[in-house]
Amino acid sequence: MKYAWFAAVLFAAGACSTGAAQPIVLGQGYEITSAVLGEARRVNVYVPAAYATSGKSYPVLYLIDGGVDQDFIHIAGLSQHASISASFREMIVVGIVTQDRRRELTFPAVNDATLKKDYPTHGESAKFRAFIADEVKPWVARSYRTDGQDAVIGESLAGLFVIETFLKQPALFDGYIAIDPSLWWDDGALARQAKDILAARSEPAGGERAMYMAVAQGEPAMRTPQAAMAQTLRGARGLSFTYDVMDDEQHSTIYHRAALTALRKVFANPPEQSGE
């Protein structure tokens, strides 16, 4: 694992500049050599502005689809709002770049033959989850001042991955944020399996988990399994679950609005201690 490159240079000074242009840097990028995936993978990191001088430890938000040309810039920008508004906790954002989303974010399709034909590389979400659990998270813990609280966020297929992770490896994160998750995958199989998965597992160590799930307006193939999953998760032991229906948003517009609401819930400021 080695440092590789600076990431997320947004823009240089404009036409009215009176001096040399200076880049505005949002974060840094690293290259992680993954034994699990058998290749080098990029990770982008944003830290709060005061990180270098505060001496404080921070929670971590793991962002699936965390490339500069994916969702890193707008989610890091939302997290920076915590420094300005104090309406939720400041955090480190770790953007995990995806390369082949259907390979990395989906489980094997067994019900839909079309998916097998159209996306022959699909179905390796378990391997991608192992990469995060065994390589990314330990690297973050060694490299940054973390306080032990974390969450994962993703939209669309990444939202599917977030929910699958909660169902199959709930102790991996404290919080789960799924924005308009693609639960239509494999004819809605995960929503149908969720109740049995929850019934078969023991409770994760480390206390209650939180999940925020937001959905946009959608066709029945999208909304029906989402509603079924929400109904199942409402009854999950050890889970604080929020289901946010945003019928005035579309799949292409919901992410930014829902993410801010989610961060305020999952990374809520701790209640003030009496007597302080």
pLDDT (tens digit per residue) in 50-92: 999 999 999 999 999 999 999 999 999 999 999 999 999 999 9
Residue 271 pLDDT grade (very low, low, confident, very high; cuts 50, 70, 90): confident
Q: What is the pTM of this model?
A: 0.91
Query: Quick one: which of 143, 145, 146, 163 has its CA closest to 154?
Result: 163
Alpha-carbon distance 17 to 12, whole Å?
10
Concatenated DSSP letters for 42-71?
Answer: EEEEE--TTHHHH---EEEEEEES-STTTT
What are the tokens at 99?
Answer: 């390369």
Residue 12 above 70 pLDDT? no
Expressed as residue numbers, the domain containing 58 is: 2-13+21-266
Question: Does any domain span residue 118?
Answer: yes
**Interval 206-238: pLDDT, tens:** 678 999 999 999 999 999 999 999 999 998 989
Which CATH number characterizes residue 204's domain? 3.40.50.1820
Residue 229 C-alpha from the chain's centroid: 18
Question: Does any domain span residue 158?
Answer: yes
Question: Does any domain span residue 272?
Answer: no
Burial 208-245 (b: 16+ CB within 10 A, else e): ebbbbbbbbbbeeebbebbbbbbebbeebeebebbbbe
Phi, psi of 243 (to 5 degrees): -115, 115
Query: Quick one: which of 242, 235, 182 has its CA closest to 211?
Result: 242
Question: Does any domain span residue 104?
Answer: yes
Burial 27-45 (b: 16+ CB within 10 A, else e): bbbbebebebbeeebbbbb
Question: Does any domain span residue 274?
Answer: no
Residue 187 above 70 pLDDT? yes
- Residue 206 has a pLDDT of 65
Query: Quick one: which of 164, 242, 173 has its CA closest to 207?
Result: 173
Question: Does any domain span residue 54?
Answer: yes
Question: Does any domain span residue 271?
Answer: no
What are the tokens at 136?
Answer: 């990314």
Strand 175-179 and strand 146-155: the pairing is: parallel
For tokens 């480390």, the residue is 206
Number of domains in the chain: 1
Question: Does any domain span residue 273?
Answer: no
